[in-house]
Amino acid sequence: MKIHDFSGGFFFEPSTKQLKKLFAVKNENVFIFEPKTVTIPFDQHIGAPNELVVTIGDNVRQGQIIAKSSADISGHVHSSVSGTVLEILEVPTFDGETQRAIKIQCANEKTLPELIPADLAPEIAVRHAGIVGLGGATFPTHIKLDPADHIEIEAVILNGAECEPFLASDDYLMRYESRKILRGGELARQIIGAKKILVGIESDKPKALAAMKKAAKAIPECFVFALPVKYPQGGEGQLLETLLAKESPIDGRSVETGGFTINVATAFAIAEAVDARKSLTHRYVTITGDVAEPKVISFPLGSSVGDLIDYCGGFIGTPSRVIHGGPMMGKTITNLDFPLAKGSNGIIVFNQEHDGKLPESPCIRCNRCVTVCPVRLEPQSIDLAYRSGDLFTCDQLMAEECINCGCCTYVCPARRDLAAKISAAGNEIKSLKKELAANEK
């Protein structure tokens, strides 16, 4: 099978490569973090809000459901530790707002986790386990595993590209849990009736590639591909273009290409739910940048950013920015109490020496942002329209199609914060359209 190229994107420049080296996780193993308390957000998914099902003072077990909704598009939340419910409180979100969360004091003694009921059909076990897209999308996986009947799916595509610079969580998971990841891929293949399993991994992860290729030998119609190190190779649309040479329809769903994509961490969680009856209570996260000892850590959901940075030996120098996610698509967090959740795959710290944020200047019409945009938008035109309050033009220029990859911002010599503006335009257009539709009813 031939690998194809996707449109737009870019290969990292030398300065980023140097930082990548500096920020690389050097330990071979994954660390296990055990906090004293966790603060678990009620809602860690895209969809209907959850309701609390425990009260203050309750003793809970790891794996016990603590918040859920009866709506289809929702994701149960489980206690990630055994302990006592201390408090229901509001904790910070990215956008300066707050969200509801449950604070749990961890028990001193270890107890066995509560397991998912036995003999559930795999797709029901996935729902029970609260699995959502762990590449960052956080869309409920049980819904994704139920594509419309008329869609014929050629391949389950396991996304191990992990193209954001500095992140290594999926890399480590693939090195150490390759069999379970592929087992999750097999289960997804069974549920949706696909023929093949294709795994895409960027070629700068040789150990992950070797482990996955070895494990794939035992599985029929399962193929592992080394992909070029090109950002955003791990975007769903870009991976489909690379492996199937098909573009996602603008007004349709990506699965209509015949490719059903899930992140390798999601596949791992599916195998854990179906075979070991474990709910989603832990995940891997990369803590790197200007911290004393960058690490990949398995942490219970609800651990705080501050606790994990301390676990990595604390800051080096004066911290300037702490980013949740990768440097391209991640969001700056301003409160170290921020709790890590299902969608948390990385924390990157930049100190004042490495945070080269310079002021933006007017657009010089160099067209670089247009060249790199993987969805063929005109970032500079949308940016100008948005800044002048012209949402109509933003809509004409299809701002809603932006995948927020950050390529345009990265290459802009005028340092214009294009991705943030285009994403804001897209969100405002979506809200306006929703409002209009509601008024028409």
Question: Binding site for [4Fe-4S] cluster, residues?
Answer: 363, 366, 369, 373, 402, 405, 408, 412
Segment 419 to 438, residues that bind ligand SF4, using CB under 6 A? 419, 422
Tell me which stretch binds ligand SF4 (CB under 6 A): 101-109, 216-224, 351-359, 398-406. 398-406
* Torsion sign over Cα 138, 143, 146, 152: negative
Which pair of structure tokens corresponds to residue 267?
A: 């596949």
* 222 neighbors 197 (Cβ within 8 angstroms): yes
Residue 40 as a binder of ligand SF4 (CB under 6 A): the answer is no
Q: Check residue 91 for interaction with ligand SF4 (CB under 6 A).
A: no
Q: Pick from 143, 157, 418, 429 the residue near ligand SF4 by CB under 6 A.
A: 418
Q: Which is nearer to ligand SF4, 128 or 324 (CB)?
A: 324
For residue 159, the cross-strand partners are 200, 263
- Among positions 209, 379, 386, 397, the unique one binding ligand SF4 when judged by CB under 6 A: 379
7 binds ligand SF4 (CB under 6 A): no
3-state SS assignment for residue 427:
helix
Q: How far is the CB of 387 from ligand SF4 (least distance, A)?
A: 11
Nearest approach, Cβ of residue 414 and ligand SF4 (Å)? 4
Task: Tell me: does residue 60 bind ligand SF4 (CB under 6 A).
Answer: no
For residue 414, the SS3 value is: coil
Closest alpha carbon to 161 in 75, 262, 79: 262
* Helix, strand and coil in the chain, % to nearest 5: 30, 20, 45
Adjacency order of strands within the sheet including 196-202:
222-227, 196-202, 155-160, 259-263
User: Taking the alpha carbons of 268, 36, 95, 320 in that order, is the dihedral positive or negative?
Assistant: negative
Position among 111, 318, 332, 367 found at the interface with ligand SF4 (CB under 6 A): 367
| Beta-bridge partner residues of 288 | 348
Minimum Å distance from CB 410 to ligand SF4? 8
Residue ranges of the binding site: 363, 366, 369, 373, 402, 405, 408, 412
Cβ contact 246:240 at 8 Å = yes
- 416 counts as binding ligand SF4 under rule CB under 6 A: yes
CB of 411 to ligand SF4, least distance (A): 6
Question: How far lies 88's CA from each of 61, 75, 79, 438, in Å?
Answer: 17, 19, 13, 33
Which listed residue (377, 385, 397, 425) binds ligand SF4 by CB under 6 A? 377
413 touching ligand SF4, by CB under 6 A: yes
Does position 26 interact with ligand SF4 (CB under 6 A)? The reply is no
- Are residues 56 and 85 in contact, defined by beta-carbon separation less than 8 angstroms? yes
For position 380 contacting ligand SF4 by CB under 6 A, the verdict is yes
**Residue 403 found at the interface with ligand SF4 (CB under 6 A):** yes
Pick the closer one to ligand SF4 by CB: 67 or 375: 375
Q: Is 406 in the site for ligand SF4 (CB under 6 A)?
A: yes
Q: Looking at 25-33, 190-198, 300-308, 403-411, which segment touches ligand SF4 (CB under 6 A)?
A: 403-411
Q: Which of 412, 421, 425, 429 binds ligand SF4 (CB under 6 A)?
A: 412
Cβ atoms 53, 68 nearer than 8 A: yes
Number of residues that this document lists for the chain: 441
Size, binding site for ligand SF4 by CB under 6 A: 29
| Cβ count within 10 A of residue 250 | 9
> Is the CB of 103 or the CB of 368 nearer to ligand SF4?
368
In the bound state with ligand SF4, the residue whose beta carbon lies nearer, of 64 and 427, is 427
Q: Is residue 397 a contact residue for ligand SF4 (CB under 6 A)?
A: no
Find the largest Cα–Cα distance for the chain.
63
User: Which residue in the set 24, 56, 292, 364 belongs to the binding site for ligand SF4 (CB under 6 A)?
Assistant: 364
Phi and psi (nearest 5°) for 209?
Answer: -60, -45
Out of 385, 408, 425, 429, name the contact with ligand SF4 by CB under 6 A.
408
Residue type at position 50 = N
Residues 304-363 that bind ligand SF4 (CB under 6 A): 363
Residue 105 carries which DSSP code?
E
Strand pairing class (331-333; 319-324): antiparallel
Taking residue 21's Cβ as centre, other Cβ atoms within 10 Å add up to: 8
For every residue of 357-411, DSSP letters joined together read: -----------HHHHH-TT---HHHHHHHHHTT-HHHHHHTTGGG-----HHHHH
| Cβ 383 to ligand SF4 shortest distance, Å | 6
Binding of ligand SF4 by 365 (CB under 6 A): yes
Residues within the interface to ligand SF4 (CB under 6 A): 363-369, 372-375, 377, 379-380, 402-408, 411-414, 416, 418-419, 422
